[in-house]
Amino acid sequence: MYSRDTSAKLFQEAQTLFPGGVHSPVRAFKSVDGPPLFIKKGDGPFIWDEDGNKYIDFCCSWGPLILGHNNDNVRNAIKRTVERGTSFGAPSRLGNYIGKLILDNHAYIDKIRFVSSGTEAVMSAIRLARGFTGKSKVVKFEGCYHGHVDSLLVKAGSGLATFGVSTSAGIPQSFIEDTLICPLDDLETLEKILESHNDEIACVIIEPIPANNGLLIQTSEYLKDLRDLCTKFGVLLIFDEVISGFRVGFQGAAGFYDIQPDLITFGKIIGGGMPVGAYGGRKDIMACVAPEGNVYQAGTLSANPISLCAGIAALEELLKDGFYKVLDEKSKSFVESLENHIQNLELNMHIQRIGSIFWFAFAKETIRRSDQIPEESSEIFRKMYSYLLNNGVYLGPSSYEVGFVSAAQTTETLAKAGEIIKKAITHSHS
């Protein structure tokens, strides 16, 4: 058993300081047992907690750390840059450099604007879509998360697919009325919504690889038809690629499926582990952003040199020949070995994977919609999770969270983690 005494003490203190003891809700370990781990350091595929325990990490700070922890190039870039100050609120050469680096290698966006988080990127892209189209309603999908943007903290109400209810207190009813909810993997309902409201709808926003409510991988036909429907009804399509961007390839899901959205939002990987977000898209749409156009959007620390240099260092690694191929192969054989174990035991579960993102689905069938996730998933995951933490494997602490294989994982660390996860799977089904 790994001791968690120090983490427990720190968490007790944190609860007197911060709401729920944390600065982002899922960190509180509400859906698994025990106090959250207080993390002291990370290096490569490993993290260490305040009790001195070492874990193989598949949370990777929720996705940004595709290179693993404490990557040499990222760390050195930050060190070099910080010698010259941290922020100027003025244009910089680094800005041009990362702008070119991205636009030269991403065929699906013409221009890009940097912000400081994924939420901010989504919020800005929605405003831009509204400003460009002069319409106000937004279609979002049940099971997709887009950060804590007011109008998007909405899920489908009972019965009617298009009648939304907020998932947070503090959201005015008037905001909810502008959000239409549609199930994933269901073109018919989407077409109905677009048909009946197209003169009011500014945009459809989707995680093309939904990875915040399980990993609800959509079919490529569905995504292509979704694109066509948006075009047909004159509605902008926003790909929220805060997770999938630079994850399943440098061009994210847009490149993976070869689908041209009108706007794309970025976060996580684009900042190399620093707080960064961005949104980009078609030239004529991006031309509406101030000061070129009249859609206001600003940020004191936007594109600060520290965040940008970390992003640059990370993105340059991703652009190296074969980066994604190697990562994909590693992830594939890791997941296949787990799948073999599951099949040998004939368990009622499987692993859904795309590139280096994976998710334990506690059902035999492929899951593409949030309402297909079996209720007992949380209980099985909770058992599995306790075993994992006690044996040195760290994942996001909820059955709804996906796992990430970082490039810092080696054949050895993946084999070791694989053995532990197999035992955890057996344990959770006994």
Active site residues: 145, 240, 268
Nearer to ligand PLP, 26 or 345 (CB): 26
Distances (CA, A) of 82 to 73, 87, 245, 264, 311: 14, 9, 27, 30, 14
**Residue 152 CB, nearest approach to ligand PLP (Å):** 9
Own/partner pairs for 379-385, CB < 8 Å, 24+ apart? Answer: 380/349, 380/428, 380/429, 381/31, 381/32, 381/428, 382/31, 382/32, 382/33, 383/427, 383/428, 384/360, 384/424, 384/425, 384/427, 384/428, 385/32, 385/33, 385/424
| Residue count, binding to ligand PLP (CB under 6 A) | 14
**Residue 28 CB, nearest approach to ligand PLP (Å):** 16
Longest CA–CA span in the chain (Å) reads 62
Binding of residue 78 to ligand PLP (CB under 6 A):
no
**Residue 407 CB, nearest approach to ligand PLP (Å):** 19
Return the SS3 of 136: coil
Q: Quickly tell me which residue has 């890009």 as its tokens.
A: 112
The residues in 141-200 that bind ligand PLP, with binding defined as CB under 6 A, are 145-147
Q: What Rg value do the Cα atoms of the chain yield, rounded?
A: 21
**Residue 245 CB, nearest approach to ligand PLP (Å):** 9
Return the SS3 of 296: coil
- Who's near 419: CB < 8 A, 6+ residues apart? none
Contact assessment for residue 249 and residue 210, using Cβ atoms and an 8 Å cutoff: no
**Kind of pairing between the strands at 201-206 and 137-142:** parallel
The residues in 243-272 that bind ligand PLP, with binding defined as CB under 6 A, are 243, 267
Nearer to ligand PLP, 7 or 212 (CB): 212
Q: How far apart are alpha carbons 68 and 317 in whole angstroms? A: 12
User: In this chain, which stretch among 77-85, 237-245, 317-325, 405-413 interacts with ligand PLP, using CB under 6 A?
Assistant: 237-245
**Residue 340 CB, nearest approach to ligand PLP (Å):** 30
Contact assessment for residue 394 and residue 413, using Cβ atoms and an 8 Å cutoff: no
Nearer to ligand PLP, 139 or 342 (CB): 139
**Residue 7 CB, nearest approach to ligand PLP (Å):** 23
The residues in 104-143 that bind ligand PLP, with binding defined as CB under 6 A, are 117-119, 122
Structure tokens that stand for 182 in this block: 């549609």
Nearer to ligand PLP, 180 or 276 (CB): 276
Element (H, E) at 421: helix 411-428
Nearer to ligand PLP, 46 or 62 (CB): 62
User: In this chain, which stretch among 190-198, 240-248, 347-355, 367-375 interacts with ligand PLP, using CB under 6 A?
Assistant: 240-248
Nearer to ligand PLP, 279 or 324 (CB): 279
Structure tokens that stand for 274 in this block: 């620093």
Binding to ligand PLP by CB under 6 A, coded x per residue (else -) over 276-315, reads: -x--------------------------------------
The residues in 202-221 that bind ligand PLP, with binding defined as CB under 6 A, are 207, 212
**Residue 172 CB, nearest approach to ligand PLP (Å):** 21
Chain position whose Cβ is nearest to ligand PLP: 118
Nearer to ligand PLP, 178 or 240 (CB): 240
Q: What are the residues binding ligand PLP (CB under 6 A)? A: 117-119, 122, 145-147, 207, 212, 240, 242-243, 267, 277
